[in-house]
Structure 1
Amino acid sequence: MAVSVAYAWSCFKARSKAPLPPGPTRHWLWQNMKDLPKSKMWLQFTNWADQYGPIVSLSLPGSKTLVVLQTLDTINDLLDKRGVLYSDRPHTIMANELMGFSETVTFQQEGPVLRRYRKLCRIALSPTAVERYETVQHDAVSQFIDALTENYARRPDGDVDFLPQIRLAAIRWIMGMVYGVRVEDTSHEYVTNAEAAIALFAKAIQPGRYFVDAIPIMRYLPEWLPFAKFKREAREARIVRARGAELPFRHVVDKVIAGTAPPSFVSLLLSGIDESNPSASERYEHEDIKQVARSMYSGMSPNSTLRSFVAAMLLHPEVQKKAQAELDTFYGLHGRTNLPTQADRQHLPYVCAVINETLRWQPSLPLAWHGRSHLQTIIPRSGFLIPKGSTILPNVWNVSRTGPDKETLNDFDPSRFMDDARRPLDPASYVFGFGRRVCVGQLVAENFLFVMVAAMLSSFTILPPLNNDGKEEMPKIEWVGAMPK
């Protein structure tokens, strides 16, 4: 505490002399609002990294400041070593107040509630607890392989679309792990509610998306006004959010009461058992469990990474052949015919390199929405001022383009992870978040990614679809946000 107070006081004394980090020229009225693109902001931020350096600042109307961190060293320096200063969540009128996302883990501010949430995650996602989810993982991957095999048998031309089944496999895994719910297709009510809430959330947190965030008095406008569409969107979001959290949670509660609940994240916490400390037993608040469970669905989906993997295999068949050869050699030596398991990972270095390169090549969250500075601070060494309330944005995309052979880092090349001289930064150090906001589900997510990728490579060959002449024709791969389409 004494250190924090002293640090804050030193910043207070220096604030009149310290400059903001560099950035594009600010307009007197709308500041940098027009400098922010409507999509793929990380690409513009990456361009600015070359022009302005490792820390870039932008100003928005309403005395709001965005601070973009462009390098892993800068990110770690601020968010790991000084995380206590920058771990508050940005507060927006639209997302926090009107839509009600302030209750979620993602937007929860530092304090006792967030500490309770973290405790629940540590209990239910500890290495010991993760082992209990392997059956759910195996079932989801097995159903995925069976569905593709069945679809292939029905199509004499062998043209099978992987992508819908990949999404369904990820949903089955998450719903089974979190709620113990078996999902047959993506039209399941729990799934549609959760996906709708995620879409609304993603829209709400885009900087500059809603004028009410810059002009807070607009929150008091009646929603029937033609230009108050944001109020109608907020009302819809509150309904969708509540339904998405309550229905699956109540389902598990009813199953627990009836004594028929399968093992899951929620049933484990409802039982009050801490598998990392079997001698401990505690009653956890239902509202806490509900909020954490809902956030796990939105925060752990590997769908984007798996779609990027399929795109990479289409674009680079030589990589696919090399990975398949490694799998064939390993399974042939051991006489294996079953699905890959976690124990196989140490024997399949090239397959692991393919996964690492996929995570690096197209990070699922290229621009992390990390936190907010709750004090006015001065960055050591650079001397730049970070105003109180600044939004901190780690530019993961730029970090992924850092390393040896920089001119090739937009290319997909797993061999770079097999060569010490060319090895880039470990994607695990930046794709799962930073500091106090790091993804607590990293272990279980990495496990599922490995098994899914290894299962696809060992069971199928991913090829372009056939055209009307029966010849392979490479589809046009478009990137919507960070996800290939």
Structure 2
Amino acid sequence: MLASAGSLVATIWTALHLRTLLLSAVIFLFLAGYFKRQRPKNYPPGPRGLPFVGCIFQLDFEKPHLSVQPFVKKYGNILSLNLGDMTSVVITGLPLIKEIFTNKEQNILKRPVTLIRERITNNNGLVFSSGQTWKEQRRFALMTLRNFGLGKKSLEQRMQEEARHLVEAMAEEGGQPFNPHFSINNAVSNIICSITFGERFEYHDSQFQEMLRLLDEATCLETSMMCQIYNIFPWIMKYLPGSHQTLFKNWRKLKSFVSYMIDNHRRDWDPDEPRDFIDAFLKEMAKYPDKVTSFNEENLICSTLDLFFAGTETTSTTLRWALLYMALYPEVQEKVQAEIDRVIGQKRQPSLADREAMPYTNATIHEVQRMGNIVPLNVPREVAMDTTLDGFHLPKGTMILTNLTALHRDPKEWATPETFNPEHFLENGQFKKRESFLPFSMGKRACLGEQLARSELFIFFTALMQKFTFKPPVNEKLSLKFRMGLTLSPVSHRICAVPRP
């Protein structure tokens, strides 16, 4: 009896002791997190976050770019916003954006790498690499893009040919409602695929359609709450199901697709006659067989995927917004078509040489980019050394987010900031560039595909406006609701492409 009682007391004491230890550990971790978050001197003001998770529960992850704006009103144009374990600062307003992207740019050339992104790319590729890897890969990519047609008539002809395929695909819909998402994705992607893989893919190619679907899903998932929690607690989350696991699975499949294409290239590769980006990269790899450089298999896969993603997602999303805006603003669509009829007519294909004579069409494309706002907080940068901006101290390691949403809707910069209005880019009937228009960012890490994207947007948009009038389906209401991901894209919708007489 006494032995039983003693055993019971020992068990209770052990349980209480264990509970005390656990409680003490939790309190210690929270206190450690709290003191870690003590603001240094002259640090930008901002909302107080919780230990470990920061302010992520104060943001709406379906519209984070909009939920940031009340903080800007409260704390000012330089505000701190801790996201998980990552210290970030949001920069608002053209003067401050210009200051940090020009006068301070050498201090912010790095990219911050989340644990999700590190697992996907291992700091390889073009978009999220830094230092010597980024310099080598960007220089090589720009040179290779030029070698394979960027800025030349040959690539423009490929765009015109692809625009013709897209027009034919939409004509097959017979003016009936359809979802334009993946036909536009396929068409735009074929331009960068002709450079990276040396070939285009038919719109009914099931394998390629699956790649586009995986890319689209990954784009959406990476900003989900589960992925943000993975960035904070990877040692727990890696064992749990959720959108982060789907994201990793998708990227594995996308990497396998690129690896398959690389293996095919190796079978008949001729280093003296490179056909595309992969061939050129293999040639570069062969130059340094024993030297440690960024020209290796993993960087080939990641850089090819970066080109594939950037060359597909951003331009195709902008075109989807463009067709949506045309259906919702028929008076703008009529003016665009009138200009096309006057300058090009119905028989000849649009060319880049026509752009200068078509200020209204050019202004409309720019207004789509302003309102579509597809990268609302810009691709982030990281402060590489302690930096001062407007009297505030930005410690090394701080992530910089650029508030393009506020810039592109600033009432001081735009006459009707919340309204779709191509007149924002016109002055006395001529196209007018705007300093406060930064969809491609600015500086040395601005989008390397800007010239390609501008050309594609003009050729594809003009070709579609030339042949179709876009309308909402009967008894269906189109909206400007968006889907949040790495880009801001329209929610799934149907549209009618009615052939023009």
The code of the aligned residue for 1:293 comes to: T
Deviation string, structure 1 residues 352-402 (Cα, Å, up to 9, x no partner): 0100100111122112232211222222xx211212211111121111112
Query: In structure 2, how many angstroms separate the alpha carbons of the residues matched to 1:47 and 1:240?
Result: 40
Shift of 1:68: 1.0
Q: How many residues align?
A: 438
Match of 1:446 among 442, 454, 461: 454
Residue aligning to 1:7: none
Q: Secondary structure at the match of 2:400?
A: strand
Instruction: Please say if residues 377 and 387 of structure 1, whose CA atoms lie closer than 8 Å, have aligned partners that are also in contact.
Output: yes
Q: Does 1:352 align with 2:362?
A: yes
Deviation string, structure 1 residues 110-144 (Cα, Å, up to 9, x no partner): 2x221110111221233983123223212210101
Match of 1:300 among 311, 316, 321: 311
Query: In structure 2, how many angstroms separate the alpha carbons of the residues matched to 1:477 and 1:403?
Result: 20
The code of the aligned residue for 1:189 comes to: Q
Q: Secondary structure at the match of 2:79?
A: strand
Taking structure 2 as the reference length, what is the TM-score of the superposition?
A: 0.77
Deviation string, structure 1 residues 267-317 (Cα, Å, up to 9, x no partner): 455567xxxxxxxxxx97565444322211111221110111011111110
Shift of 1:460: 1.0
Identify if the C-alpha distance between structure 1 residues 370 and 358 changes in structure 2 by more than 3 Å, giving closer, same or farther.
same
Q: Does 1:136 align with 2:158?
A: yes
Deviation string, structure 1 residues 305-356 (Cα, Å, up to 9, x no partner): 0111011111110001011111111135xxx722101111111010001001
Q: Secondary structure at the match of 1:437?
A: coil
Q: Secondary structure at the match of 2:87?
A: strand
The code of the aligned residue for 2:218 comes to: L
Gaps of 5+ in 1: 1-14, 273-282, 468-472
The percentage of counterpart residues that share the same residue type is: 21
Q: Does 1:395 align with 2:403?
A: yes
Instruction: Please say if residues 266 and 293 of structure 1, whose CA atoms lie closer than 8 Å, have aligned partners that are also in contact.
Output: yes
Shift of 1:246: 1.1
Deviation string, structure 1 residues 409-455 (Cα, Å, up to 9, x no partner): 11101012113799997389511133332111110111010001111
Instruction: Please say if residues 359 and 427 of structure 1, whose CA atoms lie closer than 8 Å, have aligned partners that are also in contact.
Output: no
Shift of 1:107: 1.8
Identify if the C-alpha distance between structure 1 residues 246 and 423 changes in structure 2 by more than 3 Å, giving closer, same or farther.
same
Identify if the C-alpha distance between structure 1 residues 205 and 115 changes in structure 2 by more than 3 Å, giving closer, same or farther.
farther
Instruction: Please say if residues 85 and 374 of structure 1, whose CA atoms lie closer than 8 Å, have aligned partners that are also in contact.
Output: yes
Q: Secondary structure at the match of 1:96?
A: helix
Shift of 1:458: 1.1
Q: Does 1:33 align with 2:45?
A: no
Match of 2:426 among 418, 432, 435: 418
Deviation string, structure 1 residues 235-275 (Cα, Å, up to 9, x no partner): 525632531431223333435459998x5443455567xxx
Instruction: Please say if residues 372 and 392 of structure 1, whose CA atoms lie closer than 8 Å, have aligned partners that are also in contact.
Output: yes
User: Counterparts of 1:22-101 in structure 2 under 5 Å?
Assistant: 22-27=45-50, 30-62=53-85, 64-97=86-119, 99-101=120-122
The code of the aligned residue for 2:77 comes to: P
Deviation string, structure 1 residues 26-68 (Cα, Å, up to 9, x no partner): 4467542321221221112233323322211112454x31111
Instruction: Please say if residues 378 and 402 of structure 2, whose CA atoms lie closer than 8 Å, have aligned partners that are also in contact.
Output: yes
Residue aligning to 2:221: 203
Residue aligning to 1:322: 335
The code of the aligned residue for 2:374 comes to: S
Residue aligning to 1:123: 143
The code of the aligned residue for 1:400 comes to: H
Shift of 1:21: 1.3
Q: Secondary structure at the match of 2:81?
A: strand
Residue aligning to 2:278: 266
Query: In structure 2, how many angstroms separate the alpha carbons of the residues matched to 1:364 and 1:435?
Result: 19
Instruction: Please say if residues 425 and 433 of structure 2, whose CA atoms lie closer than 8 Å, have aligned partners that are also in contact.
Output: no
User: Counterparts of 1:3-18 in structure 2 under 5 Å?
Assistant: 18=41
Query: In structure 1, how many angstroms separate the alpha carbons of the residues matched to 2:226 and 2:81?
Result: 12
Query: In structure 1, how many angstroms separate the alpha carbons of the residues matched to 2:414 and 2:403?
Result: 17
Match of 1:463 among 459, 471, 475: 471
Shift of 1:192: 2.8
Taking structure 1 as the reference length, what is the TM-score of the superposition?
A: 0.79
Identify if the C-alpha distance between structure 1 residues 20 and 258 changes in structure 2 by more than 3 Å, giving closer, same or farther.
closer
Query: In structure 2, how many angstroms separate the alpha carbons of the residues matched to 1:352 and 1:399?
Result: 20
Query: In structure 1, how many angstroms separate the alpha carbons of the residues matched to 2:190 and 2:149?
Result: 18
Identify if the C-alpha distance between structure 1 residues 423 and 322 changes in structure 2 by more than 3 Å, giving closer, same or farther.
closer
Instruction: Please say if residues 371 and 408 of structure 2, whose CA atoms lie closer than 8 Å, have aligned partners that are also in contact.
Output: yes
Shift of 1:461: 0.8
Identify if the C-alpha distance between structure 1 residues 116 and 428 changes in structure 2 by more than 3 Å, giving closer, same or farther.
farther
Residue aligning to 1:311: 324
Q: Which region of structure 1 is more displaced relative to structure 2, 382-391 or 283-292?
A: 283-292
Residue aligning to 2:499: none
Residue aligning to 2:394: 386
The code of the aligned residue for 2:385 comes to: L
Query: In structure 2, how many angstroms separate the alpha carbons of the residues matched to 1:30 and 1:180?
Result: 45
Instruction: Please say if residues 318 and 372 of structure 2, whose CA atoms lie closer than 8 Å, have aligned partners that are also in contact.
Output: yes
Q: Does 1:236 align with 2:261?
A: no
Residue aligning to 2:232: 214
Match of 2:129 among 82, 85, 108: 108
Instruction: Please say if residues 368 and 393 of structure 1, whose CA atoms lie closer than 8 Å, have aligned partners that are also in contact.
Output: yes
Identify if the C-alpha distance between structure 1 residues 417 and 258 changes in structure 2 by more than 3 Å, giving closer, same or farther.
closer
Deviation string, structure 1 residues 52-106 (Cα, Å, up to 9, x no partner): 22211112454x3111112232222113322221222213223214x34522322
Residue aligning to 1:4: none
Query: In structure 2, how many angstroms separate the alpha carbons of the residues matched to 1:148 and 1:100?
Result: 36
Q: Does 1:483 align with 2:494?
A: no
Query: In structure 2, how many angstroms separate the alpha carbons of the residues matched to 1:447 and 1:312?
Result: 20
Identify if the C-alpha distance between structure 1 residues 326 and 406 changes in structure 2 by more than 3 Å, giving closer, same or farther.
closer
The code of the aligned residue for 2:214 comes to: A
Shift of 1:407: 6.8
Instruction: Please say if residues 383 and 399 of structure 2, whose CA atoms lie closer than 8 Å, have aligned partners that are also in contact.
Output: yes
The code of the aligned residue for 1:317 comes to: P
Q: Secondary structure at the match of 1:236?
A: helix
Instruction: Please say if residues 370 and 437 of structure 1, whose CA atoms lie closer than 8 Å, have aligned partners that are also in contact.
Output: no
Query: In structure 1, how many angstroms separate the alpha carbons of the residues matched to 2:179 and 2:219?
Result: 29
Query: In structure 1, how many angstroms separate the alpha carbons of the residues matched to 2:202 and 2:44?
Result: 51
Gaps of 5+ in 2: 1-37, 285-293, 492-501
Q: Does 1:433 align with 2:418?
A: no
Query: In structure 1, how many angstroms separate the alpha carbons of the residues matched to 2:435 and 2:311?
Result: 16
User: Counterparts of 1:333-372 in structure 2 under 5 Å?
Assistant: 337-372=347-382
